[in-house]
Structure 1
Amino acid sequence: MRANRSKSALLYRQLRRALQSGRYLPGQRIDPGTLAEEFSISPTPVRFALYRLVGEGLIDDHARDGLHVPLLTEVALRDLYDWMERLLLMACEVEAPPEVGAGEALPYLPGGPRGDPVKGTWQLFDAIARAPGFRPLHHAVKQANDRLAPVRRAKRGLIDQPDEELARLGSHWQARDMAALRAGLRAYHARRRQLVPRIVALLVDRRDQQP
């Protein structure tokens, strides 16, 4: 039993990273048998890992149709963007100690490295939520971050100049200019809400093209 739990925990972490990286697209079916074969483990730890992800909202259980990466409707995606915005604005209202996050190696900060804007967005939003030291808030942002990661990965071509947008947010965060950061976060999420119909149509099209 302990060995199964260890294998399940390892697979859970690998699948979570795979979902964030875009290996599985929204709407894609995830087959437990294929995972068991791929990772050379028995079906039991695979089921444990998958249903842990189901509990976190990162995978949907469609009963007879199996397990799928969530494919959000327009209403659900707008709600998720609204929720993330509200959580981040709440984090910005809490005065964090000045030493929190000091020297943090985040991408897209002034003078820092550039790279993957999807990963950079996850890291920046996580840092903003972690700074107040309020665990329930940080946990809620992590869950929303994880749910949005595959969407961000799939819709990259729809957003103009994401690097510059993220760099501006990072600059406001590094300077602890919370008024500018709040305004930037509102603008960031407003842009994405306007694109919701196109994002959902793109995700549906990609799902339908899957073999």
Structure 2
Amino acid sequence: MERVYLDLKARILAGTYPPGTRLEAAQLAKSLASSATPVRDALYRLSGERIIESWHQEGFRQPLLSEADLVDLYWWTGALLLLALKGRTPRSDLPGGLVDLATHPSYPEGIESLFRTIAIGSSNGELRASIINCVERSMTIRTLEARVDGVASDALTSMADDYRFGRWSALRSKITRFHRRRASHAGRVAAEIRRRSEPLDNIRRI
């Protein structure tokens, strides 16, 4: 059951299924080499995590996020990250790099790595879980963010450098600006999401 959950979650977060795609246990079971029961359990679990949607009492689907949905998600993620960084101050005994933060060739992987690292650094378990959930729910839209905003990758690089060297005040300011910019581009991202999806009255079954 755990294997099915992890495999299906990885596919969903990787954007395997276009937005709006209906996810049916019987069909997914074939590609996951499983029976329908553990797939259905995984779908309920992922719905509880808000990674997929329970749609009109008719099953599950890949989220089809609107501009308002994206704005809410961006502001909430930014607020949680600021809480995780609250109170952090530079250490005078470590003037060099503080953290060996992994580098990634792509913008989506880099954002995930930085925000997960910030989450893990929090001593509050609820805060860690909430940030990681936001990170996972945002993974399918990161490529679209970079497509509509040419400076998104530069903003990531700047935030990652601040984290490496413990420039916490600068990082907090940049996280605020980053999510404010994400919200301002939410309409364009939502339009890209719509272009990747089929009409709602003709949702493809998976």
Superposition TM-score, scaled by structure 2 size: 0.86
1:75 aligned onto 2:62: no
What RMSD in Å do the two structures reach over aligned CA positions? 2.3
1:143 maps to a residue whose letter is N
Q: Which residue of 1 aligns with 2:80?
A: 87
Cα distance in 1, alignment partners of residues 178 and 14 from structure 2: 21
Question: What SS class does the counterpart of residue 136 from structure 1 fall into?
Answer: helix
Q: Which residue of 2 aligns with 1:40?
A: 33
User: CA distance change for structure 1 residues 150 and 131 in 2, over 3 Å: closer, same or farther?
Assistant: same
Q: Which residue of 2 aligns with 1:204?
A: 194
Cα distance in 2, alignment partners of residues 161 and 21 from structure 1: 23
Shift of 1:62: 1.3
Select 2:17's aligned residue among 13, 16, 24.
24
Q: Which residue of 2 aligns with 1:110?
A: none
Question: What SS class does the counterpart of residue 198 from structure 2 fall into?
Answer: helix
Cα distance in 1, alignment partners of residues 12 and 146 from structure 2: 15
Asked if the contact 1:24–1:150 (Cα under 8 Å) also holds between the matched residues in 2, the reply is: no
Shift of 1:97: 10
- Higher mean displacement: 131-140 or 18-27: 18-27
Task: Answer 1 or 2: which has greater helix percent.
Answer: 1
1:12 maps to a residue whose letter is Y
Cα distance in 1, alignment partners of residues 90 and 37 from structure 2: 45
User: CA distance change for structure 1 residues 131 and 68 in 2, over 3 Å: closer, same or farther?
Assistant: same
Cα distance in 2, alignment partners of residues 155 and 16 from structure 1: 21
Cα distance in 1, alignment partners of residues 119 and 87 from structure 2: 10
User: CA distance change for structure 1 residues 38 and 88 in 2, over 3 Å: closer, same or farther?
Assistant: same
User: CA distance change for structure 1 residues 133 and 96 in 2, over 3 Å: closer, same or farther?
Assistant: farther
Select 1:169's aligned residue among 159, 163, 176.
159
1:55 maps to a residue whose letter is G
> What pairs up with 1:153-164 in 2 under 5 angstroms?
153-164=143-154
Q: Unaligned regions of 5+ residues in structure 1, if any? A: 1-7, 108-113
Q: Which runs of 4+ in 1 moved over 6 A?
A: 96-99
Q: Which residue of 1 aligns with 2:124?
A: 134
Cα distance in 1, alignment partners of residues 129 and 89 from structure 2: 17
Shift of 1:102: 5.5
User: CA distance change for structure 1 residues 29 and 149 in 2, over 3 Å: closer, same or farther?
Assistant: same
Cα distance in 2, alignment partners of residues 19 and 96 from structure 1: 37
Select 1:151's aligned residue among 136, 141, 158.
141
Q: Unaligned regions of 5+ residues in structure 2, if any? A: none
Superposition TM-score, scaled by structure 1 size: 0.84
Percent identity for Structure 1 against Structure 2? 28
Shift of 1:104: 3.9
Q: Which residue of 2 aligns with 1:184?
A: 174
2:148 maps to a residue whose letter is L
Paired residue total: 197
1:176 maps to a residue whose letter is G
Write the deviation string for residues 127-184 of structure 1: whole angstroms up to 9, x where unpaired: 1121122111010001111111112134431121333221111100011101110111
